[in-house]
A and B are shown apart, each in its own frame.
Chain A
Amino acid sequence: MTQRLVVIGAGMATGRVLEHLFETDPDAYDVTLFNAEPRGNYNRIMLSPVLSGEKSYEEIVTHDDAWYDDHNVTCRFGEKVERIDRDRKVVVGENGEVPYDKLILGTGSAPFIIPCPGHDLPGVVAYRDLEDTNAMMEAAGTPGARAVVIGGGLLGLEAAAGLRLRGMEVTVLHLAGHLMERQLDEAAGYLLQKDLESRGITVMTQAATKEIRGDAHVEEVVLEDGTVLPADIVVMAVGIRPQAQLAKDAGLDVNRAVTVDARMQTSDPDIYAVGECVEFDGNLFGLVAPLYDQARVLAKTLAGEDAAFQVKELSTKLKVTGCDLFSAGDFAEGEGREDIVFRDPARGIYKRLVIEENRLIGAVFYGDTADSNWFFGLIRDGEDVSEMRDTLIFGPSYQGGAAADPLSAVAALPPEAEICGCNGVCKGQITQAIEGGATDLAAVRATTKASNSCGTCTGLVEQLLSVTLGDGYSAPAAQPICGCTELTHEDVRRLIKSKELKSQAAVWQELGWTTPNGCHVCRPAVNFYLLADWPLDYQDDPQSRFVNERNHANIQKDGTYSVMPRMWGGTTDANELRAIADAADRYGATVKVTGGQRIDLLGVKKEDLPAIWEDLNDAGMVSGHAYSKGLRTVKTCVGKDWCRFGTQDSTGLGIQLEKRLWGAWTPHKVKLGVSGCPRNCAEATCKDVGIVCVDSGYQIGVGGAAGMDVKEVERLVDVTTEQEAIDHVVAFVQLYRENAKYLDRPYKWLAKVGIEWVQEQVIDPEIRAGLIERFDISQSVYQKDPWAEHVQTRRARYAPLADLTLEAAE
């Protein structure tokens, strides 16, 4: 006999139950479906694409009228259920009773509305159903309309992104310190915020809503701190609560939601529940995957089969086009938990894995979620990851099953496996190139661009050469930094970032240095890498610097020093010259004009350094860093103020650049030139960074050299304004600081990574802004005059510790 099945709620979970049920036994039940919304089942999680305009409502309908017809479902849409009478086994709807043999509750959840004053004003909506979505789309129809989204979780951000795409001015208010704090850690939340901000969305964290104001409609939102935000629509997306009132009124067991057993049965054996209104084992459910699992279980239960629902690990992805974000499992910090972190600030990539007892228990990715399914599988299956721990974060393409021969691992990769992430080159392309005659690394790079950017995959490419060519290829041994380690500079830079090594001790320990604290080769390099990557965490170590940088002067062959004050853009004045002349007299210095347009005082004794610096400081001069791997000089010509050919204020631009860049440590020295016209009197085209001014603006070239090698700059970009010129130069210098090997001048680094990659980074406005931001953070620490500082704090160190010649003179 056909049983009567009544379903309350036409949502995604109940919809899936019906599908399974009709597949197994189309005639087992006579179904009546209630839905408070005046429509049937649609794919609610696709409301965001509807809001953003990427899909229409019709495209997200799961079950249309025809489907309900075909399956003889009696639809009571737009009708609320008033109560359930369990004694008589009837459901009481607004339009009358329906008897049931079996009943499914799929009442879902309701958005949580903050009960602040004004929450009930017209124009305050949740983000739950098509009505809300339509209200938002309508509000977005007014040009210049402003939206305030309360709640920076998944839903709130999808709403914000959709509204922004529709042209609204959008502000997101979030109570916690970073966005999506339940799914993301702080670092990923920060990247997400930056991404959203770059789309024109304003994000305010730690923002508590106090009141919503307006006469007949919302007009503004007032925060606890007094900030007032004008608003034409307010979207509340602060959370959901299960709708269990109907069940509660019917006397069913309800905790936070309707409690069910593993077969999805409530405390009444004829009543079942699925979806967001359900509580199982203390868990509530809001994502679609467990809902579908529940639906499958319930359909089997109804068909009389055995099935049990299990709580599984969940993963989250944000459906905002262009924000690649993934989180799964548990990533709170805790005892016995280890983190593996990989950051690529230039590409906005952040990956974090949380490991406990050799098992991956949590993962957060931002910017690159390509391998997220593989990681999710590891979490779900609780696989032991100790064997692949060292390379785990690089994903499946680095894992070769047994920790055996790396060659067999590479050989086992499928042709579509990505080898070079920077340039998107997969194994197949590389093997083809090799078979086509590219038989060494340089040739593979030239043909495919693989390993031509960051260089991290060089090892893999070499292994591919070896696998493909067999004995025909002998890989050049990777050059370790020095005898203290087997790692290369590139390895160490990458590991300092990915393992978040923030001290020398951490580097020696974690990277297995064979010496207690490095040597004169590796220690200065490691010191630079640490301070470049972690300007706020790591402190520069003078004892890891060569003598010139430690003493802020250049040691000469006789043990005396040369002292060179800064002359901004090669300009000086009578007062400075007078002070230099006096200092030369006082300390017996030889005076030499340098090629970098400044004045060198040679032959100063070490113990006199603090005194001469103090004198020069008093005249307003600071260290010229003529001794540092950092910004040296900015050579300029006189420019259009004086020169009849000058097209721009080259001197002024040079001064601005020098004032912005001085004090920054770089992998090797950096010299700039700014010429006011293509006659190029400042010789800008053989500098590390050279700008040639033209009528239409500024030609920025990089990677010139005029030392052991002579090389003309490569054109980075042409820009029209001075500000753009400065921005691009700062971004280039930061990119160099973050990526180059210690003691590689820019031209050597460029030869490795290629001008195209550098252009991609520096010209992309988002990446450029990030580079500039990180440069400025570093400058907040390092742009200070070391001379003044040493005069203040280290003066005594410049004198001998003791002078026994005086005592022994008796």
Chain B
Amino acid sequence: MTWIDIGRIDDIPVRGARLVKTHLGCIGLFRTADDEVFAAADTCPHKGGPLSEGIVHGQRVTCPLHNAVFDLNTGQGTDGYQIDTYPVRVENGRVLLDADALGKRSAA
């Protein structure tokens, strides 16, 4: 795995999210109340709502447009919706994404 440094965890609001632009589309980085960080596709499969603008609660996020709720561990959402999730690490206060995982998606 090739880890890319994305930025400081403190730049993501607690119980909030920030956006990362990639060639493959936008990825949301979600930070929970317990300072866990999850990475998942930013786009809601329902009507394309930006999930990084949703309310983060527990280890879940609610789409800001029509309230679909996604589990950030699995990407599984209400009403059968599913989003991609990505490996993410936090080291020394920095958030790292796996370049290979992003690459795989590009290959797909």
A residues apposed to B, CB below 8 Å:
515-520, 523-524, 542-547, 550-551, 555, 557, 559, 796-797, 800-805, 808
Q: A515 near B21 (CB under 8 angstroms)?
A: no
Q: B19 near A559 (CB under 8 angstroms)?
A: no
CB distance from B104 to the nearest CB of A (A): 14
Distance of A559 Cα from B64 Cα, bound (Å): 10
**Residue B54 is within 8 A (CB to CB) of chain A in the complex:** yes
Q: Given A546-B64, A802-B21, A805-B22, are A520 and B4 also a contact pair (CB < 8 Å)?
A: no
**Residue B50 is within 8 A (CB to CB) of chain A in the complex:** yes
Distance of A613 Cα from B21 Cα, bound (Å): 24
Q: Which of A515, A524, A801, A805 contacts B55 (CB 8 A)?
A: A524
Q: A800 near B57 (CB under 8 angstroms)?
A: no
Q: B7 near A547 (CB under 8 angstroms)?
A: no
Number of A-B contacts (CB under 8 A): 89
**Residue B74 is within 8 A (CB to CB) of chain A in the complex:** no
Distance of A550 Cα from B18 Cα, bound (Å): 13
Q: Given A797-B18, A808-B23, are A519 and B29 also a contact pair (CB < 8 Å)?
A: no
**Residue B12 is within 8 A (CB to CB) of chain A in the complex:** yes
- Name the interface residues of B1-47: CB closer than 8 Å to any CB of A: 4, 6-7, 11-16, 18-23, 26, 29, 33-34, 47
Contacts of B34 in A (CB 8 A): 516
Q: A520 near B7 (CB under 8 angstroms)?
A: no
B residues apposed to A, CB below 8 Å:
4, 6-7, 11-16, 18-23, 26, 29, 33-34, 47-50, 53-58, 60, 62, 64-65, 67, 69, 95, 102
Q: Which of B6, B33, B69, B102 contacts A801 (CB 8 A)?
A: B6
Q: Which of A544, A555, A796 contacts B64 (CB 8 A)?
A: A555
Q: B55 near A523 (CB under 8 angstroms)?
A: yes
Distance of A796 Cα from B18 Cα, bound (Å): 11
Which 10 pairs between the two chains have the least Cβ-Cβ distance?
A520-B62, A801-B18, A547-B64, A547-B53, A520-B55, A543-B15, A800-B19, A803-B21, A804-B22, A543-B16
Distance of A543 Cα from B52 Cα, bound (Å): 11
CB distance from B22 to the nearest CB of A (A): 5
Q: A515 near B7 (CB under 8 angstroms)?
A: no
Distance of A802 Cα from B53 Cα, bound (Å): 16
Q: Given A550-B53, A801-B12, A801-B29, are A516 and B22 also a contact pair (CB < 8 Å)?
A: no
Contacts of B15 in A (CB 8 A): 517, 543-544
CB distance from B77 to the nearest CB of A (A): 13
Q: List 16 A-B contacts (CB under 8 A).
A: A517-B33, A519-B69, A543-B14, A543-B56, A547-B64, A550-B53, A559-B50, A796-B11, A797-B18, A800-B18, A800-B26, A801-B11, A801-B95, A803-B21, A805-B22, A805-B23
Distance of A771 Cα from B105 Cα, bound (Å): 58
**Closest A residue by C-beta to B31:** A543
Q: Which of B55, B95, B102 contacts A543 (CB 8 A)?
A: B55
Distance of A524 Cα from B56 Cα, bound (Å): 12
Q: B13 near A543 (CB under 8 angstroms)?
A: yes
**Closest B residue by C-beta to A801:** B18
Contacts of A555 in B (CB 8 A): 50, 53, 64-65
Instruction: Kindly list 17 other residue pairs between chains A and B, CB separation below 8 angstroms, not including A544-B15, A800-B26.
Output: A516-B58, A518-B57, A519-B57, A519-B58, A520-B57, A542-B16, A545-B55, A547-B64, A555-B65, A557-B47, A797-B13, A801-B6, A801-B18, A801-B29, A801-B95, A804-B20, A804-B21
CB distance from A798 to the nearest CB of B (A): 10
Q: Given A555-B53, A804-B4, are A520 and B22 also a contact pair (CB < 8 Å)?
A: no
CB distance from B19 to the nearest CB of A (A): 4
Contacts of B29 in A (CB 8 A): 801
CB distance from A187 to the nearest CB of B (A): 32
Contacts of A803 in B (CB 8 A): 20-21
**Closest A residue by C-beta to B27:** A804
Q: A802 near B7 (CB under 8 angstroms)?
A: yes
Contacts of A516 in B (CB 8 A): 33-34, 57-58
Distance of A557 Cα from B60 Cα, bound (Å): 22
Contacts of A519 in B (CB 8 A): 55, 57-58, 60, 62, 69
Contacts of A515 in B (CB 8 A): 57-58
**Closest B residue by C-beta to A541:** B15
Contacts of A801 in B (CB 8 A): 6-7, 11-12, 18-20, 29, 95
CB distance from B40 to the nearest CB of A (A): 14
Contacts of B58 in A (CB 8 A): 515-517, 519
**Closest A residue by C-beta to B8:** A801
CB distance from B37 to the nearest CB of A (A): 11
Distance of A459 Cα from B73 Cα, bound (Å): 40
Q: A546 near B55 (CB under 8 angstroms)?
A: yes
Contacts of A518 in B (CB 8 A): 57
Distance of A801 Cα from B33 Cα, bound (Å): 19
Distance of A805 Cα from B47 Cα, bound (Å): 24
Distance of A516 Cα from B35 Cα, bound (Å): 13
Distance of A341 Cα from B54 Cα, bound (Å): 35
CB distance from B65 to the nearest CB of A (A): 8
CB distance from B100 to the nearest CB of A (A): 13
Distance of A519 Cα from B57 Cα, bound (Å): 5
Q: A517 near B6 (CB under 8 angstroms)?
A: no
Which of B6, B7, B15 gathers most chain A CB within 10 Å? B15
**Closest A residue by C-beta to B57:** A519
**Closest B residue by C-beta to A799:** B19
CB distance from B10 to the nearest CB of A (A): 11
Which of B49, B57, B62, B67 gathers most chain A CB within 10 Å? B57
Contacts of A804 in B (CB 8 A): 4, 20-23, 102
Distance of A550 Cα from B64 Cα, bound (Å): 11
Distance of A545 Cα from B53 Cα, bound (Å): 10
Contacts of B6 in A (CB 8 A): 801-802
Distance of A797 Cα from B54 Cα, bound (Å): 14
Distance of A519 Cα from B70 Cα, bound (Å): 12
Distance of A801 Cα from B7 Cα, bound (Å): 7
CB distance from A538 to the nearest CB of B (A): 16
CB distance from A530 to the nearest CB of B (A): 15
**Closest A residue by C-beta to B106:** A808
Contacts of B48 in A (CB 8 A): 559
Distance of A801 Cα from B30 Cα, bound (Å): 12
Which of A523, A559, A802 gathers most chain B CB within 10 Å? A802
**Closest B residue by C-beta to A796:** B11
CB distance from B58 to the nearest CB of A (A): 5
CB distance from B17 to the nearest CB of A (A): 9
